[in-house]
Amino acid sequence: MSLTKSLAADGSSFTIQIKGKFDFNLVQDFRAAYADVGDNTPKVIIDLRETEYMDSSALGMLLNMQKNLGSKVSGIRIANCRPQIKKILQISRFDKKFEID
């Protein structure tokens, strides 16, 4: 399984961790993962610490998620990016729409 999700014990944050490749093959899993954010308007953390590759459809999936979740969450943070992944996010100007760490 290259995608895991976990809701913090206090419900304040919801983490989706993606291992290896973040591409079109994850469309279904990714959409299903953020359907479970719960009712506490948590902060969503997309943890990319183990993401080696992503393609442009991953960027589209992130935007879709943001549209979809809207006010159901208190924010979305893309966390723990490796330098090359961060470069891709910066080129795509994702730092304007997401908190990137």
Which residues contact another protein (rule: CB under 8 A)?
6, 8-9, 12-13, 15, 17, 21, 23-24, 27-28, 31, 45, 47, 49-50, 52-57, 59-61, 63-64, 77, 79-88, 90-93, 96-97, 101
* Nearest distance, CB of residue 93 and another protein, angstroms: 6
Q: Exposed e or buried b for every residue in 42-66, given b needs 16+ CB within 10 A? A: bbbbbbbeebeebeeebeebbeebb
Nearer to another protein, 39 or 50 (CB): 50
CB 39, min distance to another protein, A = 19
**HSE toward the beta carbon, residue 101, CA cutoff 13 A:** 10
Contact 58, 22 (CB under 8 A): yes
d(CA 23, CA 39): 28
- Given a contact cutoff of 8 angstroms between Cβ atoms, the answer to whether 2 and 21 are in contact is yes
Shortest CB 38 distance to another protein, Å:
15
Comparing CB distances to another protein, the nearer of 39 and 96 is: 96
CB of 75 to another protein, least distance (A): 10
